[in-house]
Chains A and B, each alone.
Chain A
Amino acid sequence: MRVPANGLQPGAILAEAVRGPGGRQLAVAGTALTPQHLVVLRAWGIESVEIGEPPADPDRERLVAAQRVVAARFRGQPADHPAVRALFQAAVARELQRCP
């Protein structure tokens, strides 16, 4: 679950590592956030972090529907390109979030 930095509470568990500008790692995945972490995240201008368990696998029907919607936009793209693949995954995730 993506949570804006200003909505974070101490004790929340990071689902993925947080990196600052320049790639510096500020917290590893699995970190239980302390008030000091919140200070650091704010200082480095981190806007949002992934919290908690990774989103549960959506049921297959929804996933296929979301993939179908997104795939329509991806027509004509170089499908093997790593950036395109990453964008497709992000787009499917966003589509699933947008239409719960």
Chain B
Amino acid sequence: MPVTPTIDGILAAAGELQALPDSWQHLDAVLARSAATTAHIAEAIAQDPGLSMRLLRLANSPMFGLSQRIERLSQAVHLIGTRQLRELALAVSVVDLVGRSGRRDRVASYLRHSTSVGLCARAIASRRREANIERFFVAGLLHDIGRFVLELAEPDLVADQQTQARQRAVPIETIETASLGFDHAAIGGALLRRWNLPSTLCEPVAWHHLPSSAPSQRVETATVHLASVAAELLGLDDGEAVSTPLDQSAYDLVGLDAADLIGAVSEAASALAETLTVLVGTAA
């Protein structure tokens, strides 16, 4: 009789993903000091040449739409902003971890889906003129980290679930909940809490299927929900899976009209390929 996996059990099987890398933790400590100057931050980043290079590439990616090339790290730090920098550094670190953890084809597929939702969430937040839109990017990027972790821990189970979902034409979380009692969103939320990330990131990941149930970060959760549904429906990830049904109260909370939503998703679509190259290229 197979043992039903628990969330803790699944996380325990996540290997390197169980903790964020030291470089990010060091950067986070520097950034947490309110007196930190751009120079301090640039210096901290520079200690990780990989991170430095990836941040510079991100600053020059379509996400920022700059027509002049950013060459110096301090310039990138200024431009991105120190708070946003922290989010982007997190994103780069996680993509790095993921790239090291899984099979190449699974990683590519996962990152494509994650990045498309991240870009959608960012574009939606940009249209809402949110401060620090990069945290929406990161939340979107991380929203399905639970699925990646579950697949690492229970590859056969996940394959079976995917087949069932396809056959029954239902969202994957329906099958997960039926077989495990919880879904990949719950796994992702648990992982992010383990990473000591703030609720502005944990909640959107944990509740992106049930945005109205998010305890406090309603707008962030609704934004990630909307971004994931839109990206999946539009087929940005080239996947064929059945999407979570659109939560209408979440849509209302975000407050974009249909045309704005399509505009945001199109913007994300046009930035997707290059952003992915920046992120995955570094992961390769």
Contacts and interface: CB of A to CB of B under 8 A. Distances in A.
Interface residues of A, number: 28
Contact of A76 (B234, B242, B248, B270): B242
A87 B240 contact: no
Contact of B266 (A42, A72, A75, A90): A90
Contacts, number: 78
Between A4, A72, A88, A98, the greatest number of chain B beta carbons within 10 A of the residue's beta carbon is seen for A72
Contact of A70 (B235, B269, B270): B235
Interface of B: 62, 65, 67, 126-127, 169-171, 230, 232-235, 240-243, 245-246, 248, 251, 257-259, 261-262, 265-267, 269-271
Nearest to B171: A76
A44 to B, nearest CB: 10
Closest 4 CB pairs of A and B: A86-B258, A82-B258, A83-B258, A87-B233
> Chain A's interface: helix, strand, loop or mixed, by majority?
helix
B233 A42 contact: no
Contacts of B262: 86-87, 90
Contacts of B240: 72-73
Given A76-B171, A77-B246, A91 B270 contact: no
Contacts of B230: 83, 87
Between A21, A82, A85, A86, the greatest number of chain B beta carbons within 10 A of the residue's beta carbon is seen for A86
Contacts of B241: 73
A31 interface: no
Contact of B270 (A4, A21, A85): A4
12 contacts: A2-B266, A47-B65, A47-B267, A47-B271, A48-B266, A73-B242, A81-B248, A86-B259, A86-B262, A87-B258, A90-B234, A94-B235
A78 interface: yes
Given A47-B271, A84-B246, A87-B265, 17 more contacts: A42-B67, A70-B235, A72-B240, A73-B242, A73-B243, A74-B233, A74-B243, A76-B243, A77-B243, A78-B248, A81-B251, A83-B246, A86-B262, A87-B258, A90-B262, A90-B265, A90-B266
